[in-house]
Chain A
Amino acid sequence: MSISVRDLSVDIGGRRIVSDINIEVPMGSFVGVLGPNGSGKSTILKTIYRVNRPSAGGVFVDDDSVHGLAPREAGRRIAVVSQDTSVEFDLRVEEMVLLARFAHKGRFERDRDTDFDVVRDALDAVGCRHLTGRSFHSLSGGERQLVLVARALAQQAGHIVLDEPTNHLDIRHQSEVLDIVAGRGLTVIAALHDLGLAALYCDEVHLLTGGRLHHSGTPADVITAENIKAAYGADVLVVPHPETGAPQIIPRRAALRNTKGHS
C-alpha cells in the first residue's frame, strides 16, 4: 500500500499547471499537499484519481501506474473524498454510500447483504447511521461530507485521496472528517487549506507554489513563517501546538506588525 507521484507534470488546455512533482506516500502514512489557491494541489490529486492525465511522469499505486489500471481496479484501490457535495438527483443516504460498491459488483449483480453490511459499518464509522434513510439533499454541509467519507470507506480501498475535504465545514466537522480517516491505518494523501489542521494530522507535507514543489518534509520543517511568507505572501506567526508541538499559524494585523517588531 503506497502512492508514489514521480516526476509528474500535468497540462490542462495546453497550459502547464504542475511540473516535476515527486511525492511519496508510504503505507499507512498521512501526507499533506499544501499551497495557495491555484498552486496546483487539486490538479495533482485529480491526476491520482484519474480525472487528469499526466503529460510527463506518472502516478503509481503499489508500483502500478494508475493510468494503466482498469477503471474498476483503480476504484478498488483508491477512494476519494472531494469538496463537491452538490447533488442534482437526490439519493437516500444509504443509496449514496452504496454507490461505493460499484467497483466490487458485476453488471447485473444485485446488492447483497454483504454490501449493506459494508454500508452500515461505514456509516457507523462516521457516526451517521441514524441518517441512513434520509434524503442526501436534506442534510447539512457537515453531514453531507461525513456521508461522503462513509462512501469512500465503503469502497474498501487501501488508499484515500482527500481533495480539500474540509472546505466550507465548521470547525467540529473539519477535525471530525480528518479524525475518521486518520485513525484507520489507511494510506492517505490530502490537499488541505488549513495549515494548522495539516500540521496536526500529517506525517509529512509538501508545499506548492506556482505548480512546483517549494518545500517538503515534516510539518515542523515546512510550516515556518519564512516558508509561509514565500509561498502565500502572508505575514504570520508560527507557534507550537500546546498539546502536540505541531506548528500552528496565527494571523497578524498589518497595523501591529511594525510596532511589535516580531520576526
Chain B
Amino acid sequence: MAKQGRLGLGVALGLGGALVVVVMVLGVMIGSTPLGVKQVLDVLWGRFGSDVHDAIADQIIWQIRLPRVLLAALIGAALTTAGTVLQALVRNPLADPFILGISSGASVGATAVLLFGTLSSLGLWALSAGSVAGALLAMVTVFVLAVDDGRLTPTRLVLSGVALSAMFSAVASYLLFQGNQVATSSVVFWLLGSFGRATWGQLSLPAISLALAMLYLLSQARALNALSVGAETATALGVDVERLRRRLFVVTSVVAGVAVAVSGVIGFVGLVVPHIVRLAVGNDHRVTLPVGLLWGAAFMVAADLLSRVLVPPQEMPVGVITAFIGGPIFLILIRRRAYSMGGSA
C-alpha cells in the first residue's frame, strides 16, 4: 500500500518500535554515571530472576533511569496523540496543546489544586483532575473564541491560544510573586517541564489514560478522517460531528492534562511529531495515530536524553530542547502555509 514514497503501516511501526528501543536503551545507559550494555542487562536480569549483583547500578537503573525513560516515552506518545487529534479537530496542522494554550491551562489547574485543593491528599489523581479540568476549560475557551460564523478561523485559533497562554502564565507568575513555597516550586516545575522526578508510581495514570484514549480514537479513526476534511463534509458523510467534537474535547483534555500533571508543560512535541508522521505515512488516522505513539515516544526519550547530556553536570529542562526544535519548525510551517492563515480556509 506504500505509494508516493509513503511508508506503509508495518514499516512505520517497525521503524518506530526499533527507534523507541534504541533511544530507551541509550537513555538508560547514558548519564552522570555511564553504564555499559552488560551492566544494564545484568540489572534487568537480576530484577526478573536471580539475585542482584551490583546494588549501585541497580539503584541507578531501576529507581532513576528506567522510570524516567518510560515516563518520557509515555508523555511523548500522549502529547503526539493530543496534537494529532487537535489538528484534525480544528482542521489546522498548526494546532498543538501548547500553542493553543491547553497545556498552560492544565498547569494552572494543577497549581490551583496544589494551592487551594483539599484534594491534595489524593496526590497525582487530584493534580491530574485539576490539570484535566484546566485543559478542558482552555480548550473550550479557545474553540468558542475561534469560531466565526460556524467556522474555525485559523488566525483566531492561534491568536486565542497565544492570548490564553499569556493569561495563564500571568496567573503562574502571580503565584510566584506571592512567594508561596509550594506554588513556587510547582510553578517552576510546570513552566519548564521535566522528567527529573519520575517514579514508577507516576507511570500508571498516563499509561491507562493514553491506552483508553487510543482505543476510543482508533474506533473513531474513520470519523476523524472525515472531520479533518471538513465539518460539513463529515456531517454529509454521516458523522455525528457535534458528539464527536465533544468527546474529542474530553479525550484530548484528559491525555494532555494528565501529561502536564506528571511532567509539566513541554511544548511543540504535539506539533513536530505529528507533522513528521503525516509527511511519512499520510493523513489516514488509522495509520497516523498508532505510528505517532511510537515516533512520539522515541522523540521525547531522545529529547530528554539530550537535556541530560548537553550541559553536564547540569540538566536542562526538556521543554527547552523541544522548543529549540519545535519553535523554528512552527515558524517554517507558518511561512509555508501563509496562504491559509489569513482567511477561513
Contacts and interface: CB of A to CB of B under 8 A. Distances in A.
Interface string B36-61: 00000000000000000000000000
A92 B340 contact: no
Nearest to B218: A108
A88 B275 CA distance: 12
Interface string A74-97: 111011101010111111100110
B340 A88 contact: yes
Interface size range on A against B: 35 or more
A46 interface: yes
B236 A99 contact: no
B3 interface: yes
Contacts of A51: 232, 235-236
Contacts of B239: 71, 75, 102
B230 to A, nearest CB: 6
Contact of B229 (A75, A87, A135): A87
Nearest to A132: B3
Interface stretch (B85-93, B156-164, B181-189, B256-264): B85-93
A103 B3 CA distance: 26
B225 A99 contact: yes
A155 interface: yes
Contact of B233 (A82, A90, A133): A82
Interface in B201-218: 218
A107 B232 CA distance: 21
B48 to A, nearest CB: 34
Contact of A88 (B91, B218, B225, B236): B91
A88 B345 contact: yes
B65 interface: no
Interface stretch (B111-119, B278-286, B313-321): B278-286
B237 A100 contact: yes
B223 interface: yes
Given A84-B230, A86-B345, A95 B282 contact: yes
Nearest to A13: B149
A89 B229 contact: yes
Nearest to A74: B238
A50 B231 CA distance: 11
A257 interface: no
Contacts of B91: 88-89
A180 B245 CA distance: 34
Interface size range on B against A: 20 to 34
Nearest to B232: A51
A72 interface: yes
Given A89-B278, A107-B219, A50 B235 contact: yes
B236 A80 contact: yes
A51 B235 CA distance: 7
A80 B230 CA distance: 13
B232 A82 contact: yes
A127 B252 CA distance: 41
A49 interface: yes
A66 to B, nearest CB: 11
B44 to A, nearest CB: 35
Nearest to A86: B345
B16 to A, nearest CB: 20
B226 interface: yes
Given A87-B229, A102-B222, A108-B219, A92 B3 contact: yes
Given A108-B219, A135-B4, A155 B237 contact: yes
A105 interface: yes
A92 B283 CA distance: 9
B237 A99 contact: yes
Given A86-B345, A105-B222, A108-B218, A91 B236 contact: no
B228 interface: yes
Given A91-B283, A99-B226, A108-B218, A71 B235 contact: yes
Nearest to B91: A88
Interface in B91-129: 91-93
A75 B237 contact: yes
A214 B304 CA distance: 68
Nearest to B222: A102
Interface of B: 3-4, 87-88, 91-93, 149, 218-220, 222-223, 225-226, 228-230, 232-233, 235-240, 278, 282-284, 340, 345
22 contacts: A46-B232, A51-B236, A71-B238, A75-B238, A82-B233, A84-B230, A86-B345, A88-B91, A88-B93, A89-B229, A90-B282, A90-B283, A99-B225, A99-B229, A99-B237, A101-B222, A102-B238, A105-B222, A108-B218, A133-B4, A135-B4, A161-B236
Q: Lowest 6 A-B CB distances belong to which pairs?
A: A75-B238, A103-B238, A80-B236, A89-B283, A71-B240, A72-B238
Given A79-B236, A88-B91, A89-B278, 18 more contacts: A46-B232, A49-B235, A50-B235, A71-B239, A71-B240, A73-B238, A74-B238, A75-B238, A86-B345, A87-B229, A89-B88, A91-B282, A91-B284, A92-B4, A95-B284, A102-B239, A108-B219, A161-B236
